[in-house]
Amino acid sequence: MKDRSLLMIPGPIEFEPAVLAAMGAPTTSHIAPDFIEVFGQALERMREVFLCPDGQPFIMAGSGTLAMDAVAANLIEAGDKALVVNTGVFGDRYGAMLERYGAEVTHVRAPIGGVPAMEDVEAVLKTASYKLMTVTQVDTSTGVLTDVKTLAALARRYETLFIVDGVCAVAGEELRMADWDVDVALTASQKAIGTPPGLALFVVRPRVMAVFNARTTPVANYYADWTNWLPVMEAYEARSVAYFGTPAVNLIAALNVSLGLILSQGMEAVFARHKTIGQACKAAMMALGLGQVPLSDDVAAHTMTAPRFPKGIEAADLLPKITMAGVVLAGGLHPEIKAEYFRIGHMGSVKAGDLLATIGAIEIGLAACHYRFEKGAGVAAAMRILA
Ligand code: PMP
Ligand 1 in reach of 140 Cβ (< 6 A): yes
- Give per-residue pLDDT as tens, 2-32: 578 999 999 999 999 999 999 999 999 999 9
Which pLDDT does position 2 carry in this prediction? 58
Ligand 1 in reach of 89 Cβ (< 6 A): no
Does 17-265 carry CATH code 3.40.640.10?
yes
The CA 171 to ligand 1 mean position distance, Å, reads: 15
Q: Is 82 helix (H, G, I), strand (E, B) or coil?
A: strand
Reported pTM: 0.98
Q: Are 281 and 356 in contact (CB under 8 A)?
A: no
- Give per-residue pLDDT as tens, 147-174: 999 999 999 999 999 999 999 999 999 9
The CA 78 to ligand 1 mean position distance, Å, reads: 25
Which pLDDT does position 158 carry in this prediction? 98
Q: Are 193 and 348 in contact (CB under 8 A)?
A: yes
Taking the C-alpha atoms of residue 213 and residue 94, their distance in angstroms, rounded to an integer, is: 22
Which pLDDT does position 4 carry in this prediction? 81
Determine the distance from the C-alpha atom of residue 32 to the mean position of all C-alpha atoms in its chain, rounded to a whole number. Answer: 31
The CA 101 to ligand 1 mean position distance, Å, reads: 19
- Determine the length of the chain: 387
Question: Using the 8-state DSSP alphabet, how is residue 307 labeled?
Answer: B
Ligand 1 in reach of 63 Cβ (< 6 A): yes
Question: Using the 8-state DSSP alphabet, how is residue 314 labeled?
Answer: -
Ligand 1 in reach of 65 Cβ (< 6 A): yes
Ligand 1 in reach of 173 Cβ (< 6 A): no
Ligand 1 in reach of 64 Cβ (< 6 A): yes
Question: Which residues on adjacent β-strands are paired with residue 300?
Answer: 144
User: Residue 3: which region, alpha, beta or left (left: phi > 0; alpha: psi -120 to 50)?
Assistant: beta
Going from the first residue of the chain to its last (387 residues), give the mean pLDDT of each consecutive group of 10, the final group possibly shorter.
84 97 98 98 98 98 98 98 98 98 98 98 98 98 98 98 98 98 98 98 98 98 98 98 98 98 98 98 98 97 98 95 98 98 97 97 98 97 97
Which pLDDT does position 1 carry in this prediction? 52
The CATH T-level fold of domain 6-11+267-386 is Aspartate Aminotransferase, domain 1 (3.90.1150)
- Give per-residue pLDDT as tens, 245-265: 999 999 999 999 999 999 999
Taking the C-alpha atoms of residue 49 and residue 155, their distance in angstroms, rounded to an integer, is: 23
Taking the C-alpha atoms of residue 316 and residue 337, their distance in angstroms, rounded to an integer, is: 15
Type of residue at 120: D
Q: Where are the domains of the chain?
A: 6-11+267-386, 17-265
